[in-house]
Amino acid sequence: MTDQIQLIAPDDWHVHLRDGEMLTQVVAHTARMFRRAIVMPNLRPPVVTVEAAKAYRERIVAACGPSSAFTPLMTAYLTDDIAPDEIERGFLEGVFTAAKLYPANATTNSAAGVTNLRHIHSVLLAMERIGMPLLIHGEVTDVDVDVFDREAVFIERSLKSIRERYPDLKVVLEHITTEQAVDFVGSADRNLAATITPHHLHINRNAMFAGGLRSDFFCLPVAKRERHRLALRRAAMSGDKRFFLGTDSAPHARPGKETSCGCAGIFNAPHALESYALAFSQDNKLDRLEAFASLHGPAFYGLPVNEGVVTLQREDELVPDVVNGLVPFHAGETLPWRLQPCT
């Protein structure tokens, strides 16, 4: 049995850090284990300009403190009327690393998202030309489509056409939850990848209803049937470079989770890497964790691999019921891995 593993310092390719007081409460958890993170732009108001992204980046860096080695990678929030020139300028100036496509009303703070792909045709052409990645929340929002089918339907209705119309556009299908998504990404010859969260490796849709309505396991896309969870595990642990780590850690204050219309999101940042290590060790694939966490993402984004390492020690760690007023993923559970500081 392996008692200790060292990984090249990993990155989180999908995280929600929020803003204001919430930002100061959560960013340290991400910064202590990841050297870089793709920061989602769905604030209120959303990050739609270069100047807004610069200002948000400055707030994140300030919240981390002067001794932190963490680098936030900023994204633009696509809207129906966002200007291609603004997207291109932000990317070429090194402010935007990527742009995020939220179908309007698909998830938290997405009301200003894209209502029809034809509205951003010129934006996607520009992104394809300059090599800027498109990050997609891949769900349809039609009320007549079952919530458990919305990712699969998005792939058929929208993602296939995006891939056909813009073959040189780099696309990341974020936080995938279905066997269909695994198969579609796995069939791509180039320019398509996917992030996988720790919670979707551990829970299926039953978790939301175990002993009652469990709002802390409600996220979007929602967890699916067991066969989908197992497909995600196979993909994450396959060594396939098209799949890499993205926590989708999405904190919400208790009033937002425990209400008549609870917010979607799982706060997994405090023990994200330990959670991934648990899943990989359960399937005897710890030797595949470093590539998934530290190598595949930089390769897709065309960024250098980080210097330094992190160490995971096989040592029991009790996850608190509450962290900074927020309920973390694995709350009350004992995880068999403990993260040592980055070196």
Mean pLDDT of 5-30: 98
Reply yes or no on whether 283 is catalytic.
Answer: no
Question: What pLDDT score does 273 carry?
Answer: 98
pLDDT reading at 105 higher than 90: no
Structural tokens at position 26: 């959560």
260 pLDDT above the threshold of 90: no
- Residue range 120-143: average pLDDT? 97
d(CA 295, CA 272): 17
The residue type at 20: G
- Nearest C-alpha neighbor of 273 from the set 223, 221, 317: 317
Local structure of residue 283 (DSSP, 8 states): T
β-pair type (11-15, 36-39): parallel
Contacts of 31 (CB under 8 A, 6+ apart): 64, 68, 70
Query: Does 95 score more than 70 pLDDT?
Result: yes
Confidence of residue 107 (pLDDT cuts 50, 70, 90): confident
Given the residues 11, 12, 216, 248, the one annotated as active site: 248
Q: Where are the beta strands (DSSP E) in 40-186?
A: 71-77, 96-101, 134-136, 171-173
Least confident of 77-81, 134-138, 230-234, 255-259: 255-259
Looking at the predicted structure, is the pLDDT value of residue 154 above 60? yes
pLDDT at res. 341: 65
Residue 335 lies in a domain: no
- pLDDT tops 80 at residue 197: yes
Helices (H), 32-107: 50-64, 84-92
Please compute the mean of the pLDDT values over residues 302-325 and round it to a whole number.
97
Is pLDDT of 153 > 70? yes
Asked whether residue 63 is assigned to any structural domain, the reply reads yes
DSSP 111-127: TTSBS-GGGGHHHHHHH
In a domain, 343, yes or no: no
Residue 329 lies in a domain: no
Look at residue 2 and tell me if it is in a domain.
no
Buried b (16+ CB within 10 A) or exposed e, 77-110: bbbeebebebbbebbeeebbbbbbbbbeebbbbb
Task: Please report where in the chains the tokens 């400055």 appear, as a residue.
Answer: 58
User: In this predicted model, what pLDDT tens digit does every residue of 199-227 receive, in sequence order?
Assistant: 999 999 999 999 998 999 999 999 999 99
| Amino acid letter, residue 119 | H
Q: Domain count of the chain?
A: 1
332 in any annotated domain: no
User: Token match 């929208």: residue?
Assistant: 158
pLDDT at 325 over 60: yes
Residue 18's pLDDT band (cuts 50, 70, 90): very high
Integer Cα distance of 172 and 159 in angstroms: 10
Average pLDDT rounded to a whole number, residues 90-110: 93
- 270 against 104, higher pLDDT: 270
Mean pLDDT, residues 299-318 taken together: 97
C-alpha pair distances (Å), 306 with each of 173, 309, 339: 23, 8, 17
pTM over 0.75: yes
Does the residue 134 lie in any domain? Answer: yes
User: Rounded to 5 degrees, what are φ and ψ at 296?
Assistant: -65, -40
Average pLDDT score over residue span 224-235: 98
CATH of residue 150: 3.20.20.140
Rounded to the nearest integer, the mean pLDDT of the chain is: 96
Range of the domain at 141: 12-308
pLDDT bucket at 285, cuts 50 / 70 / 90: very high
Distance in angstroms (rounded) separating the CA atoms of residues 221 and 249:
13
Decide if 331 is inside a domain: no
* Residue type, position 5, single letter: I
- The per-residue pLDDT for 101 is 97
Asked if residue 343 has pLDDT above 60, the reply is no
